[in-house]
A and B are shown apart, each in its own frame.
Chain A
Amino acid sequence: DIQMTQSPSSLSASVGDRVTITCRASRGISNYLAWFQQKPGKAPKSLIYAASSLQSGVPSKFSGSGSGTDFTLTISSLQPEDFATYYCQQYNSYPRTFGQGTKVEIK
């Protein structure tokens, strides 16, 4: 199975900050990497697929990059509605696997 490791597990940031979350795969997954945002009590929401493609309707302050084993999600200017937990997931092979999540909290 491919292990997905996110870092950090949590972070505190202020409104307006630029935030970067990292996701590392235990072996190469090309660009078959997706990012999700989840708020408490809600279903996850797709943000990015194919490592860097923005899902329809997702604001451009979210961006993704990477290929192979190392990936990043960047939020260019953190807003109050962005405080949430973020997950990466690989869909290169079965079983699909998720990172453990990164909780973005208000400083």
Chain B
Amino acid sequence: EVQLVESGGGLVQPGGSLRLSCAASGFTFSSYDMHWVRQATGKGLEWVSGISTAGDSYYPDSVKGRFTISRENAKNSLYLQMNSLRAGDTAVYYCVRSSRLDVWGQGTTVTVSS
């Protein structure tokens, strides 16, 4: 079964850091682009970052310079290092497979608050 399981969410103060992880199983992880997508409560979906099979990374302006996506193919794992967190980063963060976003994890909740 193809599966993505996120972890690492939690409560963090403004300006703090958090590292999200995503464990992939049931497919050849190294063969797929991977992405992070977030959703604030009651709001729409926002693409946060993507990484190619070659390790090239991409970000929207809203997180560029603060977030870093990485992957470890040997461990079938995707990561999102989030620094200088703001209240506006509060959301459920989803790990998603491929450019088509065809497989989604269940999400992990990040709350940025003092």
A83 located at the interface, meaning its Cβ lies under 8 Å from any Cβ of chain B in the complex:
no
A96 near B: Cβ within 8 Å?
Answer: yes
Using CB atoms and an 8 Å cutoff, list the residues of chain B in contact with chain A. 35, 37, 44-47, 50, 58-61, 94, 99-107
Query: Are B44 and A100 interface neighbours, CB within 8 A?
Result: yes
Residues of A within 8 A of B60 (CB): 1, 95
**Given A43-B94, A87-B45, A89-B45, is A94 in contact with B101 using a C-beta cutoff of 8 Å?**
no
Interface size class of A (residues with CB under 8 A): 20 to 34
CB distance from B93 to the nearest CB of A (A): 11
Flag whether A3 is at the interface (Cβ < 8 A): no
A96 touching B47 in the complex, CB below 8 Å, given contacts A34-B101, A91-B99, A91-B101: yes
Q: Of A1, A46, A101, which one neighbours B101 at CB under 8 angstroms?
A: A46
